[in-house]
Amino acid sequence: MTGATGICEGRVVIVTGAGRGLGRAHALAFAAEGAKVVANDLGVGLDGAGCSESPAQQVVGEITAAGGAAVAHGGDIATTDGAASLVAAALETYGRLDTLVNNAGFLRDRMLVNLDEDDWDAVMRVHVKGHFLPLKHAAAHWRSEARAGRPVAARVVNTTSGAGLLGSVGQGNYAAAKAGIIGLTLVASAEMGRYGVQVNAIAPAARTRMTQDTFAGLSALPEDVSPLVVWLGSAASTGVTGRVFEAEAGRITVMEGWRPGPTADKGARWTPSEAGEAARKLLADSEPPQPVYGAR
């Protein structure tokens, strides 16, 4: 990262899916800002098949060659043991944990009628469970620290997607998983704030091996997203929690989620016809939804 300021000096940061794409960019950016990094990656293919420690090891090599500190973790963070060992790796290697960046994921895109149950389960597992379990184990550590009277300024950055915000044709499993991550982010922010933990999410748009086929015209780089992630993962982001940001190239957008729109109250039970008439009037006064990605 150019123009490094040391904003994460002394912090210990876990990045999942750190071997390639966005995760690699985040890991390198945190290290450039003074953080010690635990780089997790199973080294799987685009569809989650296979396994190799080499991507995580390569990122660690890049960080250490530049004078930084990093260690690789090759465990499956969608398992209890893998997630627990990931948090343990940070604590045992560096004696603390300050930031968790949940980024790991893969795609198995199909139209709904062609989407196999295994494709659904695999994508939900890596994205939703792969966010939940590291968050659970990191949060348990931070809660223990806070209860012991030790100050906590912890940060979690989850990774959602425009598919989770708006939907995406041919990505029903992925869109559902990414929408679930937003819900998890909101709940974790509300539950963990008392312990000094801030939880936010980003919806990045960048050209990686995961997006190159789905969004062929996308030219933004993973490195363009990382500055916001680094800031959210630093102590400088104090007071920012429970929010979702879109990040693409030089653009940052605060995403505003569901909130009450036009409403009608009869004060008694509606008949189906009355309910339909009321709904149509309310829809006429409401903002139309943003189009689903890929819809015609």
Q: How far apart are CA 135 and CA 123, in angstroms?
A: 18
Pair 165, 182: CB distance under 8 Å: yes
Q: How far apart are CA 183 and CA 176, in angstroms?
A: 11
Q: Which of 36, 94, 168, 178 is catalytic?
A: 178
Residue 293 appears among annotated catalytic residues: no
CA distances from 133 to 139, 258, 275 (A): 10, 26, 42
Q: Which of 36, 85, 129, 161 is catalytic?
A: 161
Tokens at 87, concatenated:
């948090």
Residue 129 appears among annotated catalytic residues: no
Q: Which of 129, 174, 189, 237 is catalytic?
A: 174
β-strands 12-16, 197-205 pairing:
unpaired
Look at residue 38 and give its three-state secondary structure. Answer: strand
Residues 6+ apart with CB under 8 A from 233: 8, 11, 13, 30, 35, 98, 99, 101, 155, 157
Q: Which of 205, 209, 211, 133 is nearest to 171 (CA)?
A: 211
Pair 106, 170: CB distance under 8 Å: no
Residue 178 appears among annotated catalytic residues: yes
Residues 6+ apart with CB under 8 A from 181: 102, 127, 128, 131, 158, 159, 160, 164, 201
Q: Which of 289, 210, 276, 200 is nearest to 244 (CA)?
A: 200
Q: Which residue has the tokens 């995961």?
A: 210
Strand partners, 154: 197
Look at residue 39 and give its three-state secondary structure. Answer: strand
Active site residues: 161, 174, 178
